[in-house]
Amino acid sequence: MSPAAQPTRILAVEDDPLLANHLQLHLQGSGYSVTLSHDGDEGLRLAESEDFDLILMDILLPGTNGLDILQRLRSHHSVPVLLMSALGDEQNRIAGFSQGADDYLPKPFSLGELSVRIEAILRRVAYERREQLPREPSGDLHFDEMDCDVVLAGTPAGLTPSEYRVLELLWRHMDEALSKPFLYQQALRRGYAQHDRSLDMHISQIRRKLQGIGYHGGRVETVWGKGYMLARLV
Cα-trace Rg, the chain? 18
Angle at 67 between CA 183 and CA 50, to 5 degrees: 90
- Give the distance, in angstroms, between the CA of residue 208 and the centroid of all CA atoms in the same chain: 17
Mean pLDDT by 10 residues, the chain (234 residues): 66 94 93 93 92 92 90 83 82 80 88 90 73 51 88 91 92 88 85 84 94 91 90 79
- CATH 3.40.50.2300 occupies which residues in the chain? 9-129
In 3-state terms, what secondary structure has residue 150? strand
Amino acid 234: pLDDT: 61
In 3-state terms, what secondary structure has residue 168? helix
Which residues, other chains included, contact 101 with Cβ-Cβ below 8 Å and sequence gap of 6+? 70, 81, 82, 83, 160
Amino acid 145: pLDDT: 84
Contact 14, 84 (CB under 8 A): yes
Kindly report the number of other CB atoms within 10 A of residue 80's CB atom. 22
Kindly report the number of other CB atoms within 10 A of residue 107's CB atom. 14
CA dist 62 and 160 (Å) reads: 25
Contact 232, 175 (CB under 8 A): yes
Amino acid 2: pLDDT: 39
CATH homologous superfamily for the domain 9-129: Response regulator (3.40.50.2300)
Domain 131-232 has CATH 1.10.10.10: yes
CA dist 156 and 165 (Å) reads: 15
CA dist 20 and 33 (Å) reads: 14
Backbone angles phi, psi at 142, to 5 degrees: -110, 130
In 3-state terms, what secondary structure has residue 196? coil
Kindly report the pTM of this predicted structure.
0.58
Contact 203, 166 (CB under 8 A): yes
Contact 59, 13 (CB under 8 A): no
Question: In 4-90, which ranges are E strands?
Answer: 9-13, 33-37, 54-58, 81-85
- CATH 1.10.10.10 occupies which residues in the chain? 131-232
Burial of 112: CB neighbours in 10 Å, binned 0-12, 13-18, 19+: exposed
Q: How many CA atoms lie within 13 A of 221 on its CB side?
A: 16
